[in-house]
Amino acid sequence: MAIPHFKPAWLAIALALVSAPAGIARAMPMNDENLLNIAENIHAPEFAPVEWLNTDKPLKLADLKGQVVLIDFWTYCCINCMHIFPDLRFLEEKYHDQPLVVIGCHSGKFSQEKDAANIRQAILRHNISHPVAVDSDFAIWKSFSVRAWPTLAIIDPEGNVVGLVSGEGHREGLDRAIAKLLADHKKKGTLKSPMKFRMERESFATGVLEFPGKVLADPQSQRLVISDTNHHRVLISDLSGAIQHVIGAGTIGLADGPFDKARFHQPQGLALSADGKKLYVADTENHALRVVDLENKSVATLAGNGKQSNDYNANGPGTRTALSSPWDLALVGDRLYIAMAGTHQIWVYDIKRSRVSVFAGTGREAGIQGPNRSAAFAQPSGLATDGQVLYVADSEISSIRSLELKSDGKTSLFAGGGELFEFGDADGEADRARFQHPLGVALSGNTLFAADTFNHRIRTVDLKTREVATWLGTGRPDPGTPDKIGLFEPGGLCAAGDTLYVADTNHHRILAVDIKSRVVRILDVRPPKSSSAGT
């Protein structure tokens, strides 16, 4: 997620980056073949004094002498940053017994992302196992002349910056660079013993749910479907929360088969067939679309092969076409629309033809209106539809978009600022209202509910007047009280009858809210009473 331009609030950072320290700017950007090809040694700048997470003490460069250091500059809203995590895990596992230290430098885009407590939740949600610097004032970012999320910097065991590269897809180049540095410095005798750190997860107690991402209600069958995202499974309960079926073994993987053998990786979006017999799942971290046969109690893969796509013109058989972080789903007849967050597009899966293709968006990360195929999105993460129009929570431009589903349809800005740095917390007319990284939407009559995730609120948008109003939430990430409920980064919504169901993600709970009275029930999502519930 590069920074294309800066609004006034970001002007100081922009100027600082332009006048970066001499020498470090020459190290970026570099391609994989030249990761270590720097003509002179550039001593790494000392880390600014910031708060640290996932470690029992602040880190200094002096502490890291004798280590190969890989710094990941990230912000937790960013899908491109999320795509780096598997690369970091690969390298950490490969070199677990060697002096490689991975450090995350979290330089937050949104105001919500500058709070250490919120960053801690992101560390837990993404299962990050390395130290993270809370660089909310961009001090470390600026000292390394970073200009984009994500950026990766390599420091050799003598404290020199030897590479700086931006964007995704550098696993092999980083692997070669790290291997070479370790080999060279072993010969020089400059390596020390590997380092270990205390992780936030060591003091984190999980419950029945862990960071549930999306929720789907089926009032006809009196059941609720929950993406138990960080337990890598899908739960089906009754409307009171009593679990009836556990879909997935609860361990990371991409495996089809019966409920207890199937495996997911951080599933998110859900959609149910009209007859209620098939459940569709956006298996986000597996870059796959799965289908659950609720009669035969089995899981199969419809699209994706477990590898991340970089194809912005995809059109092919489902199982032979790679996907990229599918985040939410919406079903209209035999067409399953997919919020393809990783490519900043809307894709569609044709159920009858078993084919997947791009429906809207060029793949450019921006807020561009116009004909669907030439429009641009920025990490679409939530979908809702009336069968004629698709409403999209377009998270990185903090806006709600609308897409006409007809063949010559257009994409429009429905509410919000419509630009990458146009965010805030404001009700009012659609073009004046401001959201902060919304992740979910749901329709109920003439009202569109929006999970205004980083503002910890549920907002409504009147479909006729496009007036935006705060509906639920205090704007603070505390649990609240029954009469004044607090939300913590809610991610998923579903309206069914007179009830709005909310995946209150960072509170690890599901809420049921009476739409007329706004009375809130915290569902008691509870394990099955017998082992038969998982089959």
For 22-26, 347-351, 367-371, which range has the lowest pLDDT when averaged over its residues?
Answer: 22-26
Query: Which are the contacts of 220, defined by CB distance < 8 A and separation ≥ 6?
Result: 276
- For the chain, helix (H) and strand (E) counts, in that order, are 6, 36
CA-nearest of 229, 1, 263 to 125 is 229
- At 83, give phi and psi (nearest 5°): -70, -15
Instruction: Assess whether pLDDT exceeds 60 at residue 6.
Output: no
For residue 252 the two structure tokens come to 């990371």
In tens, the pLDDT along 190-201 reads 999 999 999 999
CATH 3.40.30.10 fits 8-203, yes or no: yes
Question: Is the whole-model pTM more than 0.95?
Answer: no
Q: What percent of the chain has pLDDT over 70?
A: 90
Domain ranges across the chain? 8-203
Q: Which residue has the tokens 């098939």?
A: 278
> Considering Cα of 90, then 96, then 100, then 103, what sign does the dihedral take?
positive
Torsion of CA 242, 248, 250, 255, to 10 degrees: -170
Fill in the amino acid letter for 241: G
DSSP, residue by residue, 138-190:
-HHHHHTT--BSSEEEEE-TTSEEEEEEESS--HHHHHHHHHHHHHHHHHHT-
For residue 79 the two structure tokens come to 């899908």
CA-nearest of 455, 463, 427, 421 to 439 is 455
Contact 255, 241 (CB under 8 A): no
With helix as H, strand as E and coil as C, how does 205-240 read?
CCCCCCCCCCEEEECCCCEEEEEEHHHCEEEEEECC
pLDDT score, position 206: 80
Fill in the amino acid letter for 485: I
In tens, the pLDDT along 91-133 reads 999 999 999 999 999 999 999 999 999 999 999 999 999 999 9
pLDDT score, position 172: 93
For residue 450 the two structure tokens come to 């929006």
DSSP, residue by residue, 75-130:
-TT-HHHHTTHHHHHHHHHHTTTSSEEEEEEE--SSGGGG-HHHHHHHHHHTT--S
Contact 31, 165 (CB under 8 A): yes
Q: Which residue has the tokens 């329709």?
A: 443
In tens, the pLDDT along 251-286 reads 999 999 999 999 999 999 999 999 999 999 999 999
pLDDT score, position 12: 29
d(C-alpha 508, C-alpha 109), whole Å: 24
